[in-house]
Structure 1
C-alpha cells in the first residue's frame, strides 16, 4: 500500500537527499522518468511497462512517494501516481562546476539500467560528468558542437565522446525540440587511433 509523504515543504536537505537517491539507483531514476513521461500511472502500469515484479514495483513507488518526488494523485483503488517536478542546482565539492538536476538528467541516469554506455560513463565520470555531457549532447544535436570539440573540452577520447553522445541522443530528442538531423555514428570520422586512445 502506498503512503503519502510526511515531509515538510521547503526542507532543502531532505529534498537533496531524495534526489540523491534517484541519482544513485538507476531503477528508481527509470521509474521517476517513466512517471514524468506518463503524467500519471498505476502500479499495474509500472509493472507492465517497466517489466518489474509486483513487489519491486510497489516497493519502488512507495520509496519515491516517501522521498517526496512522487505523489498520489488518485487515492481510491487503483491509486494513481505522478512525478513532482525536480529542478535542483548543485555545485561540485571542488566548487569548479555547477549542474542542475532536472527530470532530463534523471531520465539519463535511469537509462543506465538498460544502456551499458551510460552505465560505464557514470562509473567513470559520475553523475556530475554525465550532467555536463548531457549539456553537450543537446548542443551537439542542435549542430553547435562536434564530438571532437566535446572530447577536447571533457578531456576524453573522441571515440568515448561519440559513444556517450550517441547513448544520450534518445534522451535529448525526447525532452527537447530538435530536428532529426544529428549525425549518426556511421557518418562520423572516427579513426582507429580514437578507439586506441580510449582503451
Structure 2
C-alpha cells in the first residue's frame, strides 16, 4: 500500500485558511496582531484593535477553526497564539509566497487609505507586486524612485503605497519567519 507525500487535507485546508484571511481584512488584522504580540487575551485583542469583545470572541473562534490561531484553555483567562503560516502558489512558472507580512498588508488596508485604494482599484495581485518592491525598498537596496516607476501606478500614489508597505515590512521583519520567502523585485529586475 502506498501513501501520498505530505498531507493533502492539511494543505487544502491551509489554502482555504489563507484565502479567508486575504478576503477579510478584519481577520487578517487580528491574526497579524496576535502574531506580533505573542500570547494575547480577548481583552487585549479587543482593546488594541478597538473592537467589541463579542466580535473579538467571534473572530478568534473563526481563526482557531481555520487553524491559524491556537487557544490555550489551561488558565481561567484563555490566551491566543498565532501560528506562522505560508502558502506558495505557482501558476505557469510564476511563483509567489504568501507570508504573514502579506496578510498584515491586507489587514492594514482597512486602516490605510492608500492600501485600501490599491486593493479596491487593482486587487490582491498588485498588492503582492507592490510588496516585492517594498521589501528591497525597506532594506535600502532599491530606491523609492525606481520602485515607484516599476509599479506602473501614478507616481505619487506608488510612493504612498511604498511608504505604507515599508512600515508593514519593518513591523513584521522580526515576527514573520517567512519574510525572506517574499520575492524581491530587485532580484527579478532585468535592468538597473
TM-score range, shorter chain: 0.7 to 0.9
Q: What 5-or-longer segments of structure 2 have no aligned partner? A: 1-6, 175-192
Give runs of aligned pairs for residues 42-81 of structure 1, distance below 5 A.
Answer: 42-81=41-80
The residue aligned with 1:120 is: 117
SS of the residue corresponding to residue 88 of structure 2 reads: strand
Against the structure 1 CA distance between its residues 96 and 117, is the aligned structure 2 distance closer, same or farther, given a 3 Å change threshold? farther
TM-score, length of structure 1 as denominator length: 0.77
Give TM-score scaled by structure 2 length: 0.80
Residues in 1 aligned to 2:170 and 2:71: alpha-carbon distance in whole angstroms: 29
What is the root-mean-square deviation in Å for CA atoms of aligned residues?
A: 1.9
Does structure 2 retain, via aligned residues, the 8 Å contact 1:147–1:161? no
Task: Give the corresponding residue for 2:172.
Answer: 175
Which segments of 5 or more consecutive residues in structure 1 lack a partner in the other structure?
Answer: 1-7, 178-199
Higher relative contact order (CA 8 A, sep 6+): 2
Query: What does 1:96-111 align with in structure 2 at a 5 Å threshold?
Result: 97-111=94-108
**Who is 1:143 aligned against?**
140
How far residue 96 of structure 1 moved from its aligned partner, in angstroms, is 6.4
Post-superposition shift, 1:159?
1.6
Contact 1:71 1:83 in 2 (8 A): yes
